[in-house]
Amino acid sequence: MIIARLARFAALLAALALLAAPAFAQGPLRVDVTDGHLDPMPVAVPDFIGTDGRAADAGAQIARVINNNLGNTGLFTPVDSDAFIETIENIDLRPRFGDWRVINAQALLTGRVTIDGEDRMQIAFRLWDTATEQQLLGLQFATTPDNWRRIAHKVSDAVYERLTGEQGYFDSRIVYVAESVGSDGQTLRRLAVMDQDGANPSLLTDRSFMALLPNYSPGAQQITFVAQREDGRNMSYLYDLATGRRESLFDGGGPSISSGGQSLAPRFAPDGRSLLVAAERHGSHHIFRYDLRSRILRQITSHPADDVSPSPAPDGTQIVFSSNRSGRSQLYVMDADGADVRRITFGEGQYYAPAWSPRGDLVAFVRQQSGGRFALGVVRADGSGGERILYEGYFVDSPTWAPNGRILAFTRGDFGREGTQYSIWSVDLAGFNLRRLPTQGAASDPAWSPLIE
For residue range 277-331, what is the model confidence (pLDDT) as tens digits?
998 888 888 999 999 999 888 999 999 999 999 999 999 999 999 999 999 999 9
Q: Please give the helix or strand (H or E) that residue 268 lies within, else none.
A: strand 267-268
Report the distance separating Cα 378 and Cα 356, nearest Å.
9
Question: Which of 222-231, 281-290, 423-432 holds the top average pLDDT?
Answer: 423-432
* Residue 363 pLDDT: 98
Half-sphere exposure of 239 (CA within 13 A, CB side): 26
Neighbours of 295 (CB within 10 A): 12
48 contact partners, CB below 8 Å, separation of at least 6: 58, 59, 60, 62, 63, 110, 111, 112, 113, 123, 125
Q: Is 434 buried (19+), middle (13-18) or exposed (0-12) by CB count in 10 A?
A: middle
Neighbours of 200 (CB within 10 A): 13
Overall average pLDDT of the 88-94 stretch = 96
Over the chain, what is the mean pLDDT? 89
Q: Please give the helix or strand (H or E) that residue 323 lies within, else none.
A: strand 318-323
Per-residue confidence at 418, pLDDT binned at 50, 70, 90?
A: confident
Neighbours of 61 (CB within 10 A): 16
**Identity at 387, one-letter amino acid code:** E
Overall average pLDDT of the 125-141 stretch = 96
Neighbours of 419 (CB within 10 A): 8
Report the distance separating Cα 174 and Cα 447, nearest Å.
6
Q: pTM for the whole thing?
A: 0.90
Q: Which long-range contacts (CB under 8 A, 24 or more apart) does 87-95 make?
A: 87/46, 88/46, 88/49, 89/49, 90/49, 91/49, 91/124, 91/125, 91/126, 94/133, 95/128, 95/130
Task: List the 307-312 sheet strands across, edge first.
Answer: 307-312, 318-323, 330-335, 342-343
Does residue 433 or residue 208 have the better pLDDT?
A: 433
Lowest mean pLDDT among 12-16, 88-92, 269-273, 378-382: 12-16
Report the distance separating Cα 91 and Cα 44, nearest Å.
14
What backbone phi and psi angles, to 5 degrees, belong to 160? -60, -45
Query: In this structure, what is the dihedral angle of CA atoms 10, 126, 197, 106, given to the nearest 10 degrees?
Result: 160
